[in-house]
Amino acid sequence: MKLTKKQFLILEYLESERSTKSQRDIASATDMSVGTVNKQMCELSELGYICNGAITEAGLAALDPYRVKRAVFMAAGFGSRLVPITLNTPKPLVRVKGKRIIDSLLDAVVSAGIKEIYLVRGYLSEQFDQLLKKYPGITFIENPVYNETNNISSAYCVRHLLANSYVFESDLLLYNPKLITKYQYESNYLGVPTEMTEDWCFETDSSGYIKRLMQGGTDCHHMFGISYWTDEDGTKLQSDIERVYNLPGGKERYWDQVIFDYSIENYKIAVRPCTFSDVIEIDTFNELKKIDPNYAM
């Protein structure tokens, strides 16, 4: 039986807490009214998914189809806007206050219990071997054409691994690891609601589903490169990436454009709201110096 989104949110919260919670606690955590939570809790109790406010074994079984199977990291690029640091170090391995940027993402993935971890590498690829000491479960995938194409070539290398998978741009500094959960209900991107941005952003409909990707906009969601793809959508992505990659000019595209510029009618993708205090992309060396004063010396 497929869960409704409201049922999923309640079960996911109860699973993460692993303790009895009041309906007011659940309402606050899931952004639902107490009345809505009461109705959903009654339905979940009748189904045997909760008992006395706690999730049951049957509830855990109902959540299992929504478990994230793997995490894929796009880490092949040069990081030209972070020169001079990236002349000798791939951007994901740059240290911010003593910690590698990518570690903030990998730590969250490991904490969520996601076992399969794949990392697409290209520029100074051998340097990523250092990650194996802390994260021995990483499987590296080589992108031999990273310097001749846009990042669609990295997606092409892992197109068969995108079902039930998070996809990460590896240069994001994650401050809120709770954004990476072990269950996801639907395909989605992280986005911050904002009145105006000059960066990549999403226009959404009234239900919070993405209508289009654009560079610069108003009353939109600032895009962050952390997405999740269901089994169905990840399977469709494999053929869509192959198709666009082999089109004239296809190798010059960002991988996200496969969905939003060529195949949007094939997908229903939600924005998963976050804040600018949850995650940050360090675009330039000057931004890095502001965050970590050690680089200003």
Residue 151: the pLDDT is: 95
Distances (CA, A) of 1 to 4, 59, 62, 188: 9, 11, 8, 22
Residue 276: the pLDDT is: 95
DSSP string, 229-288: E-HHHHHHHHHHHHHHHTSTTGGGS-THHHHHTT-GGG---EEEE--TTTEEE--SHHHH
Q: Are 215 and 203 in contact (CB under 8 A)?
A: no
Residue 83: the pLDDT is: 85
Contacts of 43 (CB under 8 A, 6+ apart): 7
Residue 82: the pLDDT is: 85
207, containing H or E segment: none
Residue 150: the pLDDT is: 92
Mean pLDDT in consecutive groups of 10 residues from the start of the chain, 297 residues:
94 88 90 94 95 93 97 92 88 95 98 97 97 98 94 97 97 96 98 95 95 95 97 97 96 96 95 96 89 85
DSSP string, 117-171: EEEEE-TTGGGGGGGGGT-TTEEEEE-TTTTTS-THHHHHHTGGG-TTEEEEETT
Return the closest-CA partner of residue 116 out of 160, 153, 152.
160
Helix axes 23-30, 5-17, angle to 10 degrees: 110
Residue 78: the pLDDT is: 86
| Rounded CA separation 157/143 (Å) | 7
pTM of the model: 0.94
Q: Count the residues in the chain.
A: 297
Return the closest-CA partner of residue 164 out of 103, 116, 212, 224.
116
